[in-house]
């Protein structure tokens, strides 16, 4: 089983990632953002910051199903992938609430049968946050497996920063009370729509 892999981002690659990420995410906001009754779309606003710093996103185990070298991909709903649609979006922020551009986000999760793909990269892929710190992922609800509750895996890394490996959870799941890895502060905000679920989560990273 491969060990942890550090993503070494040169300055040139970092600047390229910021530029390249901006255009597609601006386009995809209509698919991944928040829909109101009029059909307009907005992402979650950047949280207001008072005297206290934002809490860092907690670290969790990477688990045994991580695969390095995933493809650049923000849409996991490829041919052959079935399941309830989920549009996940949010921002990557520093502790002062400032968006962080060019952060690598590597997502992976079980498919609708509770399986992880080790022959290819189904339900696996990475992307970079845009100049507003935004990310968007078009995916599906992961199925339960073993004793685990429903969850997504993600590894994040800012330019020259440490890797944060964590997991995101769904509210209202019966197994949340028995999964020893579950954390309330890693719960997604979920809203049901006629086209699936809209999920939001803002990551907070240390920058030093």
Q: Which residue has the tokens 């209509």?
A: 30
Q: Output the CA torsion 178→155→203→113 (10° steps).
A: -50
Q: What is the pLDDT of residue 207?
A: 78
Q: Cα(105)–Cα(73) distance, rounded to whole angstroms?
A: 10
Give helix then strand counts, H and E, for the chain: 1, 11
Predicted confidence (pLDDT) at residue 90 exceeds the cutoff of 50: yes
Whether the pTM exceeds 0.75: the reply is: yes
Of 49-63, 96-110, 150-164, the range with the lowest mean pLDDT is 49-63
β-pairing, 85-93 with 134-140? antiparallel
Q: What is the pLDDT of residues 133-150, one digit of tens each?
A: 999 999 999 999 999 999
Predicted confidence (pLDDT) at residue 9 exceeds the cutoff of 70: no
Domains of the chain, first to last? 11-204 (2.60.130.10)
């Amino acid at each position: 089983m491969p060990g942890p892999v550090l993503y070494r981002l040169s300055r040139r690659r970092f600047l390229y990632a910021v530029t390249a990420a901006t255009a597609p995410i601006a386009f995809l906001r209509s698919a991944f953002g928040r829909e109101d009754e009029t059909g307009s779309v907005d992402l979650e606003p950047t949280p207001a910051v008072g005297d206290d710093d934002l809490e860092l996103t907690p670290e969790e185990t990477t688990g045994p199903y991580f695969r390095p070298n995933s493809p650049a991909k923000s849409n996991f709903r490829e041919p052959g992938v079935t399941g309830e649609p989920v549009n996940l979006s949010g921002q990557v922020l520093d502790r002062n609430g400032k968006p962080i551009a060019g952060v690598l986000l590597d997502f992976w999760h079980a498919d609708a049968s509770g399986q992880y793909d080790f022959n290819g990269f189904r339900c696996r892929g990475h992307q970079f946050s845009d100049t507003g710190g935004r990310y968007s992922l078009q995916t599906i609800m992961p199925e339960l497996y073993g004793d685990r509750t429903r969850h997504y895996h993600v590894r994040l890394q800012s330019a020259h920063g440490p890797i944060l490996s964590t997991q995101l959870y769904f509210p209202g799941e019966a197994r949340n009370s028995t999964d020893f890895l579950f954390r309330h502060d890693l719960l997604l905000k979920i809203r049901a729509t006629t086209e699936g679920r809209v999920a939001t989560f803002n990551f907070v990273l240390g920058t030093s």
